[in-house]
Structure 1
Amino acid sequence: MRLLLAPMEGLLDFVLRDVLTQVGGVDRCVSEFIRVSGSLLPDRVFLRYMPELRHGSRTLAGVPVRAQLLGSDPVSMAENAAALARLQPEGIDLNFGCPAKTVNRHGGGASMLQDPEAIATLVAAVRRAVPAHLPVSAKMRLGFNDKSLMRECALAMAENGACELVVHARTKVEGYRPPAYWELIPEIAAAVRVPVVANGEVWTVQDALRCRAQSGCSDLMLGRGSVADPGLALAVRQALAQGAQEAPALPPVVAWADLLPHIQRFWWMVCRDLTPNQRAGRLKQWLNLMRRRYPEAEVAFQCVRVITQQSLVTAWIEQECARCGVPFVLHKQELAEFEHRMPDGDYVLE
């Protein structure tokens, strides 16, 4: 079994990839999508979305990261894939699943699921443009408005060079609303001769076991479930190692106190690498999702939800560590130097 960490725009960026792979249990990550809209992107854009390219295409925990491209023009996608390949990513993933209106309005993401021939042309162009040893994979949904073309779309990807398919078991119209239709994935898996990974609505160990049973896939991609419960991948592995076919509802395998060092690391990276106006919001975003699994996260979210000042967030983390008996290892002076600094080293004018 492989457990992959999903790409999620505006949520599962390089900061959370680093933190969640430090917790453990993840075999591979995929970057947020890098949008290709006609021009050849400079290296700095690829590196901004995926700074792991500077470290052998791996997180600091050693987990490989595959770069994801999103676009609809085969020529431009091929040119950018070739440029990206020179930075030696672990592989290149193609996005045929993003449901965002702005993306779909310009013909990218899930909107391509309406045209299997266009998918075939794009995948073939990217496959030809990059070295033979470099994996090219694809992520898709079950369709755009309906599921009538899911088999044709999967074949267009697999028969034109995609070595692996991740299937998010909902259509674009269904968005992220439950349920996910895991039971439809076997039809796709039976049609293609490449590995298929199931994705969508896996929040708990129980969900993971049901998804594996219904989809017939041994491999899963975890998204919001891993953000809400950073130890989910570890818990799934533990359940399968014990031979579980189903599992009772259990508390997270990583306790809140054990998460606090990771929250500190997350906050340090956010302050170092993101703009001042993004920092507090990113922590609130993570705490908001963790409320699903941690009662302590509910309390924490209520404490910080109205805070915008970096120093006050740091003070709250220090207080929470003291309350839980966890060492506070952040360097306040270093964080203070970040307070008005932009990621590129410039400073915000007061």
Structure 2
Amino acid sequence: MRILLAPMEGLLDFRLRDTLTRVGGFDECVSEFIRVNNTLLPSHRFYRYVPELHENCRTRSGVPVKVQLLGSDINCMAENASKVASLGAYGIDINFGCPAPTVNRNRGGAALLKEPDLMFAIVKAIRKAVTANIPVTAKMRLGYDSTEQALVCAKALEEGGAEEIVVHARTKTDGYKPPAYWDWISKIRSTVNVPVVANGEIWTAEDAKRCQEVSGCRDIMIGRGAVANPALALMIRGKRNQNLSWDEIKEILYLYWLNLEKTVDTRSRGGRIKQWLHYLSREYQEAKRDFEIVKRFTNLDEFTFYWKQGR
């Protein structure tokens, strides 16, 4: 079994990748999407999203990171894939799943699920643009507003040259509302001959097991579940039988805050911590209490005093 860590725009970036992979249990990560429009991006743009490129494209705990691209211009996507490959990318992932309206209005992410021929062309161009030793993978949803073309889209990705497909088991219209339709992943697995990774609504080790049974997938990708429970990957593997203690979570939060200090302004750091506490509140009552306290903080000294000096 492989467990992949998903990106989350505006939260699960390289800083949180570093934090969660230190906890352990992950085999691979995927970066936040890098938007490709009509130009060849400068190197610093790739390094900004994926600073792990400086370290053999691995987190500090040694977990490899694929670089995810999003866009609809075939040639431009291929050129940028070639560029990031030359910078040392571990792999290239293509985003056909983002449901954000601003992305979809600009013909990106899940909007391309309405154009399987274009999906095929993008994957084929990227596969041709990078050397064979660099894997090219794709992430898709079950469709835009229906599952009518789910199998067609998956087949287009395979025929274009995708070596693995991550399937988020909802349509764009479904957003992130439960349930996830894992049975559709099973249908996709029966249609393609490349590995399929199951994604969507995996919050517990029991969810992971049920997802594997229903989808038939051995490999899974988790995102929100890992943010809500940093030990989830270890629990899925059977290496832990309970959550981290709140004292352990507090220490992780503090180290994350220090990591944010290097590149994020004080106000934005507070927003990131509040986002994380929001997810943690699914598993920890203490997170709800601490959210009410932390949301008033405006500087690092307050945060340091709170986490290190107690209540």
TM-score, L = length of structure 1: 0.87
Measured after TM superposition, the shift of residue 307 of structure 1 is: 1.9
Q: Secondary structure at the match of 2:17?
A: helix
CA distance in 2, matches of 1:306, 1:142: 41
Moved more, 260-269 or 4-13: 260-269
Please name the residue that 1:260 is paired with: 250
Distance in 1 (CA, whole Å) between partners of 2:307 and 2:243 is: 22
Is 1:295 the counterpart of 2:288 in the alignment?
no
Give the C-alpha shift of residue 292 in structure 1. 0.3
2:303 maps to a residue whose letter is V
Q: Does 1:163 align with 2:178?
A: no
**Larger RCO, structure (CA 8 Å, separation 6 or more):** 2
Question: Which residue in 1 is equivalent to 2:86?
Answer: 86
**Which residue identity lines up with residue 276 of structure 2 in the other structure?**
W
**Partner secondary structure for residue 37 of structure 2:** coil
Q: In the TM superposition, what is the alpha-carbon distance from 1:282 to its structure 2 partner?
A: 0.8
Number of aligned residues: 311
| Structure 1 residues 152-204: Cα deviation after superposition (integer angstroms, max 9, x where no partner) | 10011011110000000000000000000001111101111110000001111
Q: Does 1:273 align with 2:293?
A: no
Deviation at 1:277, TM superposition (A): 2.9
Larger Rg: 1
**Equivalent residue for 1:331?**
none
Q: Map 1:176-325 to 2 at 5 A.
A: 176-238=176-238, 252-320=242-310
Match for 2:24: what amino acid? G
Check if 1:40 corresponds to 2:40: yes
| Counterpart in the other structure of 2:63 | 63
List 4+ stretches of structure 1 deviating above 6 A: none
Of 256-265 and 85-94, more deviation after overlay is shown by: 256-265
Q: Could you tell me how far 1:296 is from its partner in structure 2?
A: 1.6
Q: Distance in 1 between matches of 2:274 and 2:149?
A: 39
Distance 1:273 1:314 in 2: 17
C-alpha distance in 2 between matches for 1:238 and 1:257: 22
Residue identity opposite 2:183 in structure 1 = E
Does the 8 A contact of 2:297 with 2:303 survive in 1?
yes
Report the CA distance between 1:89 and its aligned residue: 1.1
Q: Does 1:106 align with 2:106?
A: yes
Q: What is the root-mean-square deviation of aligned Cα atoms in Å?
A: 1.3
Letter in 2 for 1:27: D
Residue 335 of structure 1 corresponds to none
Structure 1 segments unaligned to the other structure (5+ residues): 242-249, 324-350
**Whole-angstrom distance in 2 between the partners of 1:157 and 1:282:** 34
**CA distance, structure 2, for counterparts of residue 263 and residue 305 of structure 1:** 14
Determine helix, strand or coil for the equivalent of 1:140: strand
Query: Identity rate of aligned residues, in percent?
Result: 52
Task: Report the Cα distance in structure 2 between the residues aligned to 1:253 and 1:300, rounded to whole angstroms.
Answer: 18
Judge conservation of contact 2:266–2:298 (CA < 8 Å) in 1.
Answer: no
Maintained 8 Å contact 2:119/2:156: yes
CA distance in 1, matches of 2:288, 2:260: 21
